[in-house]
Structure 1
Amino acid sequence: MTETADGAWVSLFSGGKDSSWALYRALEDGRPVERLLTVHPAGDSYMYHVPATELARLAAESVDIPLLEVEPADFGAGDVTDAGAQGDRELEPLAAALDELDTELDSGVAGIVAGAVESEFQTSRIERLADRLDAELYAPLWQRDPVDLAEAMLEAGFEIRIVSVSAAGLDESWLGRQFDADALAELRELNDEYGVHVLGEGGEFETLVTDGPHMDRPIELEYTTEWDGTRGSIRIENARLG
């Protein structure tokens, strides 16, 4: 078990594969994660995973860790022409939620878990939040090889669904598809042909973890698909724990 800072840990959590893997690794590493924290964007976002974040509460129930949700916020993406200024604006509700938890938790927030892989844009801002709280940042995916990460998730038993796509080479057939070894092989080919990131780090696709070794029960979904010819997402009709 890794020695960690005294106090509670908070895991930034969307229900997608990257934040779920970061949470799983933190728990395996013995970090005392006492809260999950989800920000629900009302529209496009530079900082946050967007689709199906409402299912984070089911995932949190399955993991059995209390969830703090920041209700839908319209960041006005596109209103600010400077991406850095937009990112800073989007950080405000996350900072407020962490301040709330720092006051609520007995020993304050000792550490923050984040699922960033390659985005310096996101990671630098989360590091600033951690520094402001004098908290440790744990980012186990940071600058790891994306194929190695994907294979580790699958080997650990993660069941992952693709819930949105928006990149050349990804058509409607990918919506709702399981992210498995076959999908990974195809994504590696699409990376060669179109530059599609195999983990969707550039926003090419988004995911939901429906089961994993850290979850007591799987998430079962009923959904339809929405496709506009170049991008699409699943629309959840019903979701429950199995």
Structure 2
Amino acid sequence: MEDEWVSLFSGGKDSSWALYQALERGLNVTRLLTVHPSDDSYMYHVPATELTGLAAESLGIELIDVHPGDLEASTAADSGEQGDAELEPLEAALTDLQSEIDIAGVTAGAIESEFQTNRIQGMCDRLGIDLFAPLWQENPRELGDAMLDAGFEIAIIQVAAHGLDESWLGRTLDAEALDELEQLNDEYGVHILGEGGEFETLVTDGPHMDRPIELEYETEWEGTHGRLVITDAYLG
């Protein structure tokens, strides 16, 4: 029987692109795995992870939810220790899954973060599985263009960076937005794809999804940062 792949999945554009690329290459992705962190995380995408259930339904792939509790607010002395602590529930979930299926590897959406990638690679080494990270060290603008060319519809759901104001909340990440983000990258060092937490996204539709995710929301703005407060979400 063919080995199975697990997609580390937040619903955001980067993990969604890694999943899409895996499917395009014929990898047998049979599980999505979402870690639901608390309000602050060094390792994981935080906002709107509760919507991954809708995405999984549209994708037709089984979802595994991991709730690490308050590990993020533990007694970790620094970001490195916190990152290690945050990895533990993910590794435990994959270890449990290995008792059920033969896992070939996991997909991950890291672009430049060695903090994340080194930890995920170490975890894969310990579990004896592969890591598929197709965004790793690719050009951010070219990645953004590729996502749009493939038909991804991407909503910006949280912002926290110089140059990004309330008007970005709920905005579609399109070619015009990427142009503006390139300018903000020159002026302020904003990562074009927001990998440093400058902004967070939700993929609401794509070629690998059967139905789009429709959102109803309000915006919450606190001076220099803000987010969408999603009041309803459903498949169109």
Aligned position for 1:203: 197
1:109–1:133: 8 Å Cα contact kept in structure 2?
Answer: no
Gaps of 5+ in 2: none
Among residues 124, 134, 154, which one is paired with 1:130 in the alignment? 124
Aligned position for 1:24: 20
Whichever residue aligns with residue 144 of structure 2, its letter is A
Per the normalisation by structure 1, the TM-score is 0.95
SS at match of 2:71: coil
Among residues 41, 49, 54, which one is paired with 1:53 in the alignment? 49
Whichever residue aligns with residue 119 of structure 1, its letter is S
Among residues 144, 156, 161, which one is paired with 2:155 in the alignment? 161
Aligned position for 1:239: 233
Q: Which runs of 4+ in 1 moved over 6 A?
A: none
2: distance between equivalents of 1:89 and 1:229? 31
Gaps of 5+ in 1: none
Aligned position for 2:99: 103
1: distance between equivalents of 2:105 and 2:207? 23
Per the normalisation by structure 2, the TM-score is 0.97
2: distance between equivalents of 1:208 and 1:80? 29
- Displacement of 1:169 in angstroms is 0.3
- Displacement of 1:146 in angstroms is 0.3
1: distance between equivalents of 2:114 and 2:35? 19
* Aligned pairs (5 A) from 1:71-220: 71=67, 73-77=69-73, 79-105=75-101, 108-220=102-214
Aligned position for 2:60: 64
2: distance between equivalents of 1:72 and 1:78? 11
SS at match of 1:30: coil
1:114–1:138: 8 Å Cα contact kept in structure 2?
Answer: yes
- Displacement of 1:76 in angstroms is 3.5
The RMSD of aligned alpha carbons is 1.3
Aligned pairs, how many? 236
1: distance between equivalents of 2:49 and 2:75? 23
SS at match of 1:128: helix
- Displacement of 1:132 in angstroms is 1.3
Aligned position for 1:40: 36
